[in-house]
Amino acid sequence: MQAAPSQAIAFYDTHVHFHELLESAGALPEIIARASAASVTRMLAVGGSPETNRQALQAALAYPEQLRAALGLNRDQAGLAYASAELAAQLAAPQVVAVGEIGLDFQHARPEHAAQGKLLERMLELARAQGLPVIIHSRAAEAATLELLERHVQQWRGAADRVGVQHCFTGSRAYAERLLELGFYISFSGIITFKNAGALRAIAAQIPAERLLIETDAPWLSPEPLRGKPNEPARVGLVAAALAAARGCSLPEIASLTSQNAQRLFGW
């Protein structure tokens, strides 16, 4: 099931793992075609390791009208915190519009929390040097994430609209409020459609309109009624529909404002 296509609607999926998606959803041309048929006009290909960074950049080069790339070293790459020369060079490519996915994940024991923190600091330094926004992952690590962001983001105050986004938001209201104070956008995924996500929808209803984004996080987190199946960008309209319902506005309104927000944040 996909959102019905409409010339008046254009969706922007701000978080797609194409390197994983190709294993479950077919070839890239087919994925792009289905997205286009579902009124998804722009997508952000997200990396997180040396290999997935290269794949994300290749996808963006192959589809310059529909894709841009975000490159980074995510928490499971902690051993590479100071081996990022290749990444620094890649970030200068015009197809790269963000540093990500980066962040902290304390739900599991490895890598060690301190190593994850050092890597995140290095990524924040690279983002600042390149003048790029960041895409943050945070799981069971709200306090530690905020501590690092507060330390680094204060240096970016001149570019408040270009700080970054907390992707796939599932955090507390207090966490959202502090992120907003720091200048971050908040992105919602298919989780917002889940039956047990009432508290998340309540938070989504209160986020300032100018700070909202949507994403699939494909191939994960398929929205209802497709939960449990491989996800893809063509389904981001279902996320938008749930967000519109939570906020009491129309689907075209959500599509328009989230697309405008993404264009402002990523410069594309």
Q: Which of 122, 21, 133 is nearest to 74 (CA)?
A: 122
Write down the pLDDT at residue 257: 98
At 35, list the tokens: 């997205």
Cis previous bond, 65, omega within 30: no
At 261, list the tokens: 């927000």
CA distance 29 to 137: 28
Contacts for 262 with CB less than 8 Å, ≥ 6 apart: 12, 14, 42, 44, 213
- Asked which of 73-77, 154-158, 196-200 is least confident by mean pLDDT, the reply is 154-158
CA distance 26 to 3: 20
Residue 7 has pLDDT above 70, yes or no: no
Q: Which of 216, 116, 219, 95 is nearest to 167 (CA)?
A: 216
At 143, list the tokens: 């306090």
Write down the pLDDT at residue 20: 86
At 87, list the tokens: 């990444």
At 31, list the tokens: 């994925």
Tens digits of residue pLDDT in 83-116: 577 899 999 999 999 999 999 999 875 678 998 9
pLDDT band at 23 (very low <50, low <70, confident <90, very high): confident
User: What pairs with residue 104 in β-bridges?
Assistant: 138
Residue 148 has pLDDT above 60, yes or no: yes
Q: What is the mean pLDDT of residues 212-221?
A: 98
Write down the pLDDT at residue 35: 98
Q: Given 3.40.50.300, 3.20.20.140, 3.30.70.260, 3.40.630.30, which CATH number is that of 11-266?
A: 3.20.20.140
Percent helix / strand / coil, the chain, rounded to 5: 50, 15, 30
Write down the pLDDT at residue 2: 54
The DSSP code for 219 is: T
262 φ/ψ sector (left φ>0, alpha ψ -120 to 50, else beta): alpha
Q: What is the mean pLDDT of residues 156-181?
A: 88
CA distance 102 to 221: 19
pLDDT band at 202 (very low <50, low <70, confident <90, very high): very high
Write down the pLDDT at residue 5: 47
Cα 260 to chain centroid distance, Å, stands at 15
Helix, strand or coil, per DSSP, at residue 43? strand
Q: What is the mean pLDDT of residues 74-87?
A: 75
Q: Which amino acid, residue 266?
A: F
- Asked which of 24-38, 205-219, 222-236 is least confident by mean pLDDT, the reply is 24-38
Write down the pLDDT at residue 76: 84
Tens digits of residue pLDDT in 32-47: 999 999 999 999 999 9
| 115 φ/ψ angles, rounded to the nearest 5 degrees | -65, -40
Write down the pLDDT at residue 157: 56
High-pLDDT (> 70) share of the chain, %: 92
Residue 3 has pLDDT above 80, yes or no: no
Per the confidence metrics, is the pTM higher than 0.75? yes
Contacts for 58 with CB less than 8 Å, ≥ 6 apart: none
Other CB atoms within 10 Å distance of the CB of residue 114? 10
